Structure 1
Amino acid sequence: MPDFPPLESLGRRIMVLGPTNAGKSTLTEAIALRTGIPPVHLDQLRHLPHTNWIERDDVEFKSLHDAAVARDEWVMDGGYSKLMAPRLARVTGIIVLDERLSVRMRRYLWRSLFQRRRPGGLEGQRDSVTWKMLHWLWASRNNGEKYRQLAHHHCGPNIIIHDQTELDTLYIAWRLSRPPT
């Protein structure tokens, strides 16, 4: 069983990274609830509310991203590698969630078919199953390695979570509550 450092050791600007449907947004909300640090879901900045995941213009997304990163404190989830450098320059701690593809696929189908609201979801939109997303799940199936390497090269504290059992242990260790859906 992993021995996790105290949540406070990650500082007040925490990145939560991992492949699609690894549990990043739920963990981000749980940390925000526990610490009072504002959550930032990059998917909500990238996509327009009340749409079926229509992307904002790149310039507008970058502006929203950079403004969020400039804040004094945040718990931020999402990859978006092209905009990673400003986050890495300010981050005080990194958490990587690296769950198996089969689990992430099941989560995607569950949230798309049955969840009305979820952490990190778009305002006014219920997820739907799309070929584009199924393709992305497959195409990004090995992204966990990229995020693990990024965390290992970061000079600050980092935590790597490999599966749901470790994630559950982290929730208990840090006395986190899963946000309501």
Structure 2
Amino acid sequence: MVTPALSLADLGPRICILGPSNSGKSTLAHAIAHKTALPLVHLDQLYHLPNTHWQARGEAEFLQLHQAAIAEHRWVMDGNYVRCLPDRLARATGLILLEISTTRSVLRYFRRTLLDAQRVGGVVAAGQQERISWEMLRYLLLYTRSKQPRNREMFASWQQPKLLLSSAAELQACYQAWGLTR
């Protein structure tokens, strides 16, 4: 297994985690927050109303919550929300881009919706009611792959410490090297 090129400390006090849906962003962010005591910010929780089936907040409210979150001195934040990514990256001290395969993302989606949601009473950690949706499957299968070139270009232009994890094995290597637990 490959050891990550950076230590967790190299990423600094404001770590931004990006990647496709169901790639493991939230799980990694939680593990990093647990290990480092960095405040954890799930952008899905800022964007969606709690205890709904992914019902969005108003755009102005979301952007206000996003600005308040990135203004903090320390955080680990997961989620894409590209329209506000420039502001987030301007504040971030480190970036992790997950580029897990579409097949793995779909399998993680099924596991999350069918197994994990049952273990916690049918509600995922973000407070969202979780169930299989054709809309999400379509998104995972079609939209996610089309965004890979944009993500790679953005990653290449980033000047701060950064780490690209393009396989489950590389992601697992980070968990091991950094002493993270799921």
Answer whether TM exceeds 0.5 for this pair: yes
Aligned equivalents of 2:152 and 2:175: distance in 1?
A: 20
Q: Which residue of 1 aligns with 2:174?
A: 170
Aligned equivalents of 1:110 and 1:3: distance in 2?
A: 27
Q: Which residue of 1 aligns with 2:21?
A: 20
Q: Which residue of 1 aligns with 2:48?
A: 47
The match for 1:156 among 157, 160, 166 is: 160
Change (3 A) 1:63 1:3: closer
Where do residues 1-181 of structure 1 align in structure 2 (5 Å cutoff)? 1-116=2-117, 117=120, 121-123=125-127, 125-138=128-141, 139-178=143-182
Give the conservation status (yes or no) of the 8 Å contact 2:4–2:173: no
Aligned equivalents of 1:135 and 1:67: distance in 2?
A: 32
Structure 2 residue runs of 5 or longer lacking an equivalent are none
Letter in 2 for 1:143: K
Letter in 2 for 1:130: S
Question: How far has the Cα of 1:44 moved from its partner?
Answer: 0.7
Secondary structure at 1:141 match in 2 = helix
Aligned equivalents of 2:163 and 2:149: distance in 1?
A: 13
Aligned equivalents of 1:153 and 1:170: distance in 2?
A: 23
Question: How far has the Cα of 1:134 moved from its partner?
Answer: 1.1
Question: How far has the Cα of 1:3 moved from its partner?
Answer: 3.9
Secondary structure at 1:49 match in 2 = coil
Aligned equivalents of 1:49 and 1:97: distance in 2?
A: 26
Give the conservation status (yes or no) of the 8 Å contact 1:21–1:105: yes
Q: TM (normalized to structure 2)?
A: 0.91
Question: How far has the Cα of 1:6 moved from its partner?
Answer: 1.1
Letter in 2 for 1:135: R
Change (3 A) 1:60 1:3: closer
4+ residue runs of structure 1 moved beyond 3 angstroms? none
Give the conservation status (yes or no) of the 8 Å contact 1:17–1:97: yes
> Any idea what the Cα deviations from partners look like across 1:54-83, whole Å, max 9, x if unmatched?
011101110111110101111011111111
Question: How far has the Cα of 1:140 moved from its partner?
Answer: 1.7
Indicate the percent of aligned positions where both proteins have the same amino acid.
40
Question: How far has the Cα of 1:2 moved from its partner?
Answer: 4.1
Letter in 2 for 1:6: S
Letter in 1 for 2:164: I
Letter in 2 for 1:27: L
* Count of matched residue pairs: 177
